Amino acid sequence: MKARPETLLAQVLGHVDETTGALAPPVHLSTTFERDPDRDYPRGYSYSRSSSPAWSLLERLLAELEGGAEALVLGSGMAAATLPFMALPPGSHVVTQATMYWGVRSWLADQDRRGAIRVSMADHPDDIPGLIRPDETRLVWIESPANPTFRCTDIAATAACAHAAGARLVVDSTVATPLLTRPIEHGADLVMHSGTKYLNGHGDVLAGVLVTAREDGFWAELVRLRAMQGAVLGPFEAWLMLRGMRTLHLRVRQCSQNALALARHFENHPRLRSVLYPGLTSAPDHEVARRQMQGGFGGMLSIRLAGGESEARKVAARVRVFKRATSLGGVESLIEHRASIEGEGTPVPPDLLRLSVGIEHIDDLVGDLEAAIDGQARARVGSGR
């Protein structure tokens, strides 16, 4: 019987060290590996910028969770996100959605200005098919649910359009995690994650992940480029990430339950213009989300304040349990005014606050946000509430 994701995660694929019987995986520090007298590397490792035993278990676990053929870990989500674009011929045409993680969007805009890649950005995911040019577009990039509106893009429909035009589909599935969505099952060619977020989950590792549906020439080029570019994951980070992943299923379940409870609680709040969360039945992409997400709708949501930008900034200033910080997918809840972080030209509405919902008690989270929206500052957690 094939083990379920929960079992694969808790037991790190059932790992037992062959020589010692240790259940906790080792930290492999060596940067270089011995050759045979005939100059071969029979164990498959030569130099740790190309391949490392520190990554092997982690990469096998990630490939297994995503239902892919192989995985690569890298030194950050950005290192992973930019690699497929770097593997394209100069001047290639790519299609993305405008609403997505701003770092990837800004990097693509830079590449477009330099003429390295020609980028068409769809204002709405429904406009993506119309921007794909048959035999010209090389890559379609989507993020689902997408930062920070958490709109969902139909992966299967987008994959069909991309493939009909001869393009590859890459999905940034950071927010969904491999537990809630497996994009390869919906037709994606590559899946990308910022491992900094839910996969590691404890806010102490910067990492990136790519998983491929199949081993082909494009994948071989990504493997080659990772070694050449050198933005690789250090052994301690790989070990910490693997350790964090052992509880991924528990964390994702709790974050998703808390986020849904918050979204439902605040959905009709008179001081909010809207709550953006794909798990709400009123969400515009709820049906898409239901089709491609199982076991929850993730731990990310945004709220838009009826009082506009100044009210949004005040709410962010008043919270005490939520922490004002960037990033997402950790055990603690975070809040952020995204428009001011992203700066000029951002498509993010100024009245929007992004929430990364953690695993705290739901009553503490609801109470904190309620008080902040109602205009009261509350006692800080741990200071004698």
Active-site annotation, residues: 49, 101, 172, 197
CA 378/CA 363 separation, integer angstroms: 14
> Least distance (Å) from ligand PLP to the CB of residue 79?
7
Question: Rg of the chain's alpha carbons, rounded to an integer?
Answer: 21
Least distance (Å) from ligand PLP to the CB of residue 260?
20
In 3D space, the residue among 361, 155, 175, 379 whose CA is nearest the CA of residue 277 turns out to be 175
Q: Which is nearer to ligand PLP, 160 or 231 (CB)?
A: 231
In angstroms, give the least distance from the CB of 83 to ligand PLP.
12
Residue 115 burial (CB < 10 Å; 0-12/13-18/19+)?
exposed
CA dist 103 and 85 (Å) reads 14
User: Quick one: 190 or 371, whose CB is closer to ligand PLP?
Assistant: 190
Token couple for 299: 């731990």
CA dihedral (114, 116, 117, 123) in degrees, to 10, reads -20
Q: Which amino acid is at 315?
A: V
Min dist. Cβ of residue 219 to ligand PLP (A): 20
Question: Please, which residue, 9 or 205, has the CB nearer to ligand PLP?
Answer: 205
CB of 257 to ligand PLP, least distance (A): 21
Alpha-helix residue ranges (DSSP H) falling in the chain? 5-10, 53-66, 77-86, 102-114, 128-131, 155-164, 177-180, 217-229, 235-245, 248-266, 286-292, 308-318, 338-342, 362-374
Amino acid at 288: V
Give the phi and the psi of residue 59 in degrees, each rounded to 5.
-70, -35
Query: In terms of CB distance, is 151 or 320 closer to ligand PLP?
Result: 151
Q: What are phi and psi of 66, to 5 degrees?
A: -85, -5
User: Judged by CB, which is closer to ligand PLP: 203, or 208?
Assistant: 208
User: Site residues (CB under 6 A) for ligand PLP?
Assistant: 76-78, 81, 101, 103-104, 143, 147, 172, 174-175, 194, 196, 206, 208, 327-328
